[in-house]
Amino acid sequence: MRYDNLSVMETIIGEGGSSDKASIALSTSKNRRIPNQRMPERSPQSMYAAKQLHAKGSRQLRSLRSTYNCVGMVFANRRTFIEPEQIPIILQDDEYTEVVKEDDLMPGDVVLYEDPQTGDIQHVGLVLASEVMFQTKKIRVLSQFGRDGEYIHDLHDVPNLYGKTVVKFYSESRKAT
């Protein structure tokens, strides 16, 4: 009894760390561990409700899985849940640079949705396409909506829960000059 509770405490304190059995080995390119936790799958009924709620507008459903979040989709190959607070560390260690001009965007670049007041990262996705149609720039993004499934959507067509956000783009790509 006594030890069981201590085990719980150790899990609490090291949550998401190397001692947490629910996490996987994941590091930045500078070998800093990225805390993470694998999540259980939600029931088909629950995912169906999510689909009913989100599959509208420009959104095209890609997948209905709930075992990872948007950060896990972009930075961990859809294998685990990573808190958005880890993103700045990943971007820094993996030497991402901000793409300031939308004209320079390439498929595969990362898009961050930030709260303009707090700076908190509300959502993250991957740029799928960036093209000009009828003199209008159209950017399509692939992202996992929380644990509610993956969607391909227009850049600004994200759920209201993320609030008013500013978008920032980052790229790890290197080009010969």
Partner 1 sequence: MTLAETMVAIERDEFAAEMNLAAGTKAFRRAIREHELFDRLSELAKENPSEVAERIETISRSAVDERYENPFDTALSAYLMALCDVAGPEIASKIVQAVLRTPKTWWASGLARELLLQTVAMGAIGVGVDWRNYARVNEWFVALHSSSGRETTMRELLDAVSAGQPTGRVSNVIEFPPPEARTMSHVVPKAFLKRKKGSARPQNIAAARKRA
The span from the CA of 154 to the CA of 58, in Å, is 6
If binding is defined by CB under 8 A, does position 43 make contact with partner 1?
yes
Find the angle CA(88)-CA(93)-CA(70) to the nearest 5 degrees.
Answer: 45
What is the rounded CA–CA span in Å between residue 74 and residue 77? 6
Q: Pick between residue 57 and residue 95 the one whose CB is nearest to partner 1.
A: 57
Site for partner 1 in 53-92 (CB under 8 A): 53-54, 66, 69-71, 83-85
- Other beta carbons within 10 angstroms of residue 7's beta carbon come to 9
Of residues 2 and 56, the one with the C-beta less far from partner 1? 2
Query: E-strand spans in the chain?
Result: 60-63, 97-99, 110-114, 121-133, 136-144, 150-154, 166-171
Which of 110, 124, 139, 142 binds partner 1 (CB under 8 A)? It is 124
Identify which of residues 67 and 171 has a Cβ nearer to partner 1 in the complex.
Answer: 67
Q: Which residues bind partner 1 (CB under 8 A)?
A: 1-3, 5-13, 15, 39-43, 45-46, 48-50, 52-54, 66, 69-71, 83-85, 120-124, 145-148, 159, 161-162
